[in-house]
Amino acid sequence: MSDPVLLSADRGAVRVITVNRPDKLNALNAQTLDALHAAFQAAAVDASVRCVVLTGSGPKAFVAGADISEMNTLTPVQGRDFSLRGQRMMRGIEKLPKPVIAMVNGFALGGGLELAMSCHLRIAADTAKVGQPEINLGLIPGFGGTQRLLRLAGRAATLELCLAGAPIDAQRAQQLGIVNRVVPTAELEAQTMALADQLANAAPLALRGILDCINVGGECGIEEGLEYESAQFGLMFATDDMREGTAAFLERRKPAFAGR
């Protein structure tokens, strides 16, 4: 599919979705939020897609934030609706039954960091910078930044990033647990696609089970999380992929997972 604000291309079982507003440093306006929501919903139901990579076009930015020119005229009610629109899209990414990797190729600020944090994994170029600078606009994060950053980096780091509003480099972001890996800019695409291909060749139902367990466990108590994990573990024994994976291990060969 193709959209004025999005580009989409399939590389085998990996779908690469690119926010395509380089003249605006890929800033998120209402049109882009809706296009992303539709693109990820389409990826969720496309059986040929087993992993999604999300990135931004151009050499400077993953997504530099929400579109300030659009926000500047919003009323309080419209501002709340804009926040809910972004949260709906990002919650959809977070709950996608297939792994999503953010390929952070440049600035990921404000809504851009919030978008990256909604993805399951984040690989950043060593030149990337991330942050929640909304305080400098007289705003607060509105697309889930206070909540996801708190869960990834902890209270102290979240308070510093949100209250001070200063960006940090990719290396510091990795130390805080905001990004999973930092790689040389020249190797970003190759290393991201290598991980995406690895996930695309893994057992799809097991991937979904892991994502579900971690999503549920992150929002409930330990006992409920453990119970949910046991239930999902048991369900795997009803799949052809589990039989194939264990047989391949015993036969010392590479498994061929079919997603059944």
Closest CA to 259 of 208, 186, 188: 208
Closest CA to 17 of 128, 109, 92: 92
Q: How far apart are CA 95 and CA 211, in angstroms?
A: 8
Counting Cα atoms < 13 Å in the Cβ hemisphere of 78 gives: 8
Q: Which residues are catalytic?
A: 114, 134
Tokens read off for 198: 């690895």
Radius of gyration, CA atoms only, the chain: 19
Helices 155-164, 145-153: inter-axial angle, 10-degree rounding: 140
